[in-house]
Amino acid sequence: MQQLIEKIPEPLKLVGDLAAVAGWVTALSGVLTALFGLGAAFLSFIWAALRIYETKTVQNWLKKRRGCK
């Protein structure tokens, strides 16, 4: 999964990040839910979760956790 995300160009990742933030803000305000249902809010959450997962901090935590087992 991480290899797939690494192939996405950084400018496109930035657009995805901005869309995810906009999705969260509008979902929290109820606008997105009223217009498009929960699907777009769910996709925004998934995108943000993937971006957090690929950060160096999370990857270091996972490496340490795997190394301890």
Whole-model pTM: value is 0.51
What is the 3 state secondary structure string of 22-43? HHHHHHHHCHHHHHHCHHHHHH
Q: What confidence tens digit (pLDDT) does each residue in 5-35 have?
A: 788 888 888 999 999 888 888 777 776 567 6
**Is 2 a domain residue?**
no
Provide CB contacts within 8 A for 32, sequence distance 6+: 23, 26, 40, 41
Q: What confidence tens digit (pLDDT) does each residue in 34-60 have?
A: 767 677 778 888 989 999 999 999 989
Q: Is the pLDDT of residue 69 over 70?
A: no
**Is 40 a domain residue?**
yes
Q: How many domains does the chain have?
A: 1
- pLDDT of amino acid 53: 92
**Is 24 a domain residue?**
yes
**Is 23 a domain residue?**
yes
- Please give the residue range of the domain that contains residue 58: 10-68
**Is 3 a domain residue?**
no
